Structure 1
Amino acid sequence: MQFVHETLPQRVRFASGAAAEGLVAEVAALGAQRVMVIAGAAEKDLADRITAGLPVVHRHSDVVMHVPLEVALRARAAAAKQDVDVLVSVGGGSTTGLAKAVALTTGLPIVAVPTTYAGSEATAVWGLTENSAKTTGSDPRVLPRAIVYDAALTLSLPVELSVASGLNALAHCVDSLWAPRADPINQALAIEGARALRVGLPLVAAEPDAVAGREKALYGAYLSAAAFASAGSGLHHKICHVLGGMFNLPHAQTHAVVLPHVLAFNAPGVSDAEHRLAAALDAPTATEGLARLGNRLKAPRSLRSLGMPSEGITEAAQAVVTAAPAGNPRPITVDAITGLVRAAWEGADPR
């Protein structure tokens, strides 16, 4: 056994109903006096409530999916104008992503308060979209200094969005099994994250107003993101980044649709990890386990239903092959990826 594993420096607070107290403690620990709160319109009331005890000088609500460059530039200008010394993001992946876009050029610290299971808060990965192309990268400046997890804040997330967001988290687990820096430690995190999500997401669907399932799902989402942060971005995420940037598809739902097809494609090349993932999903094979979970959760099935045009399949496949990371368990060819994307567009059963 030989590997190099990097654990990212970050403090995690996990306590339901304690977001406001956690934020006060984390902002004080940074010695910050001028807070910029980033939260979209849907999270405004929630953000106002949990940041009431902070020295807020600016509240920023201009949040857009996939972080268009012009949106990032406006947020950076606002941070400079208000001379802020810390960013507090309250929301899902788009909100965290905008905070990262500001931190990327300013070096401002981020305290992230997730309200979904996106996982961006636990990674040093940033993304910006310009001219229908999404560019991603990794930079230690964008890793939030602290995460304040409060499962009670996810109670308002509708079941349909909870399912998509949770399957997005599961995609972090799956991609971590074969990503460029996959190692036994991040694989262990990924397997435990998958198990927690397999248990938690059906509880969220069955009892959306109960905290227990939300806590389990949030715990799984963090583990999956921590694994992904170490392992790097594999084939699945490259496909979804291309599709999201090219066709402006909803982020979490795109991951939910594409994931079963990438797993079925790569599983034969990672037999040991596949067996462990199958056990975590409580099924004879990982592909079967994911299919059962998707059926149970009524997960979205096709890219067509998300608004992707059929004429974009070939162009997307070619872009994926160009962006795909080295070392994938199976050869990545235009024909193979075209078939995979077409199957996901049609909503075919990957089994």
Structure 2
Amino acid sequence: MMAGFTYTAHPARVIFADTALDQLEAEAGRLGARRMLVITTPRQTGLMDTLTAALGDRVCGTFAGAAMHTPVDISDLAADTARTRKADLVVAAGGGSAIGLSKAVALRTGLPQLVIPTTYSGSEMTPILGETRNGQKQTQVSAKVLPQTVLYDVSLSLALPVHVSMTSGMNAIAHAVEALYARDRNPVISLLALEAIGAMAAALPAIHHTPDDGEARRKALYGAWLCGLCLGSVGMALHHKLCHTLGGSFALPHAETHTVLLPHALAYNAPAIPEVMHQLAGVLGSDPARRLQDLARATGAPVSLAEIGMPESGLQRAADIALSNPYWNPRPLEREAILALLRRAHDGSLPQMDS
């Protein structure tokens, strides 16, 4: 018998096309925008130029200061810029950093958002905002940070570097994997999660082999959209807590941290989620945790925390922080077991299931 569940759909207008950017001006007009603040990261000045050219004199200001893990001082500065420029719409283009900053501005100002993802992070589909304050990443959930319109433009993803594509894609898979065993999981999201994982797991090796493979890029962006829907619709568990801890407290790169930790967090929870492991085996093959690490290794993504800058001396502290304000998890959180998980992840060892 199917268990009872609650499913809440988050409203958003999604446009998915090979050249969705062609619709940017029309979508901004549909939102009634006359004064737009355009947000990117410092590395995306070319994209900034493209957006400002497309929007013309309706651009009231630009902010190319989005940073990883969304530091609160940058959020405050961007929100002040929006107020000073009297913006009526935030237009953000880029990955999780740019979209995270857009959401932070929306939370502070109440402005609507039109976002254009260029990676596979999935942040654009969630009511979740994580900001870093005093070396710790704090996460909150609010409908106020949901973008009103999302433009998925496949052509923009063609220029995404292979390394970023792989880690960003693994980050997306992590959202869908945890959605399968979230406390508030439901049949709709579980179906989307399995579809998303299958699409992304097929697309990443193809992109690694042929970066300009349009069909693989299309499949990856589709998978990223679904993964974001999963993250935005149900809760998170141990994997995301560990990633937020390591990212916020040790300044580790976001997507790479997800890539390394996902196989180990899944293996930790495996004894408590046999049905989910069976479902994942149908998509990934036998021993899904090992298959995820194999996928990362085969596509050149990192498989150890050491190679992305995590000091071994910080593992004890990381375990303590993760346990200080833990997320719900299907398996009880045991300090020594979590510390062992972190040590295996630090060394790049095989994920290990225990009971």
Q: Distance in 2 between matches of 1:329 and 1:237?
A: 13
Q: Distance in 2 between matches of 1:310 and 1:180?
A: 32
Shift of 1:95: 0.5
Q: Distance in 2 between matches of 1:157 and 1:206?
A: 14
Shift of 1:50: 3.7
Deviation per residue, 1:112-155 (Å, 9 max, x gap): 10010010000010011111011011100100111100111112
User: Corresponding residue for 1:262?
Assistant: 265
Deviation per residue, 1:177-233 (Å, 9 max, x gap): 222321221111111000000111111111102221111111101101101111122
User: Corresponding residue for 1:73?
Assistant: 76
User: Corresponding residue for 1:342?
Assistant: 343
Letter in 1 for 2:317: E
User: Corresponding residue for 2:250?
Assistant: 247
User: Corresponding residue for 1:42?
Assistant: 43
Q: Distance in 2 between matches of 1:29 and 1:232?
A: 32
- Are 1:117 and 1:217, in contact at CA under 8 Å, matched by a contact in 2? yes
Letter in 1 for 2:313: E
Shift of 1:284: 1.8
Give the direction of change, closer, same or farther, for the CA distance of 1:173–1:11 in structure 2 (3 Å limit): same
User: Corresponding residue for 1:10?
Assistant: 12
- Are 1:321 and 1:337, in contact at CA under 8 Å, matched by a contact in 2? no
Shift of 1:47: 2.9
Q: Secondary structure at the match of 1:181?
A: coil
User: Corresponding residue for 1:89?
Assistant: 92
User: Corresponding residue for 1:167?
Assistant: 170
Shift of 1:334: 1.0
Q: Does structure 1 residue 238 correspond to structure 2 residue 237? A: no
User: Corresponding residue for 1:185?
Assistant: 188
- Are 2:183 and 2:330, in contact at CA under 8 Å, matched by a contact in 1? no
Higher mean C-alpha deviation, range 195-204 or range 51-60: 51-60
Q: Distance in 2 between matches of 1:90 and 1:259?
A: 27
Shift of 1:33: 0.4
Deviation per residue, 1:30-71 (Å, 9 max, x gap): 111000000112222123214423211111101111111111
Q: Does structure 1 residue 210 correspond to structure 2 residue 208? A: no
Q: Secondary structure at the match of 1:94?
A: helix
Taking structure 1 as the reference length, the TM-score comes to 0.96
- Are 1:117 and 1:169, in contact at CA under 8 Å, matched by a contact in 2? yes
User: Corresponding residue for 2:105?
Assistant: 102
User: Corresponding residue for 1:196?
Assistant: 199
Measured on the aligned residues, the alpha-carbon RMSD in Å equals: 1.2
Equivalenced residue count is 348
- Are 2:93 and 2:115, in contact at CA under 8 Å, matched by a contact in 1? yes
Shift of 1:323: 2.5
- Are 2:306 and 2:347, in contact at CA under 8 Å, matched by a contact in 1? yes
Q: Which runs of 5+ in 2 are unaligned?
A: none
User: Corresponding residue for 2:282?
Assistant: 279
Q: Distance in 1 between matches of 2:207 and 2:43?
A: 20
Q: Secondary structure at the match of 1:321?
A: helix
Letter in 2 for 1:218: L
- Are 2:78 and 2:105, in contact at CA under 8 Å, matched by a contact in 1? yes
- Are 1:87 and 1:99, in contact at CA under 8 Å, matched by a contact in 2? yes
User: Corresponding residue for 1:294?
Assistant: 296
Deviation per residue, 1:52-103 (Å, 9 max, x gap): 2321111110111111111111101100000000001000000000011111
Q: Distance in 2 between matches of 1:152 and 1:203?
A: 16
Letter in 1 for 2:12: Q
Q: Distance in 1 between matches of 2:350 and 2:141?
A: 34
Q: Secondary structure at the match of 2:211?
A: coil
Higher mean C-alpha deviation, range 252-261 or range 181-190: 181-190
Shift of 1:285: 2.7
User: Corresponding residue for 2:315?
Assistant: 313
User: Corresponding residue for 2:119?
Assistant: 116
Q: Secondary structure at the match of 1:127?
A: strand
- Are 2:95 and 2:120, in contact at CA under 8 Å, matched by a contact in 1? yes
Q: Secondary structure at the match of 2:151?
A: strand
Q: Secondary structure at the match of 2:180?
A: coil
Letter in 2 for 1:141: K
Q: Distance in 1 between matches of 2:23 and 2:74?
A: 28
Q: Distance in 2 between matches of 1:131 and 1:291?
A: 32
- Are 1:23 and 1:51, in contact at CA under 8 Å, matched by a contact in 2? no
User: Corresponding residue for 1:27?
Assistant: 28
Q: Distance in 1 between matches of 2:213 and 2:327?
A: 40
Q: Secondary structure at the match of 2:275?
A: helix
Letter in 2 for 1:118: S
- Are 2:293 and 2:303, in contact at CA under 8 Å, matched by a contact in 1? no
User: Corresponding residue for 1:322?
Assistant: 324
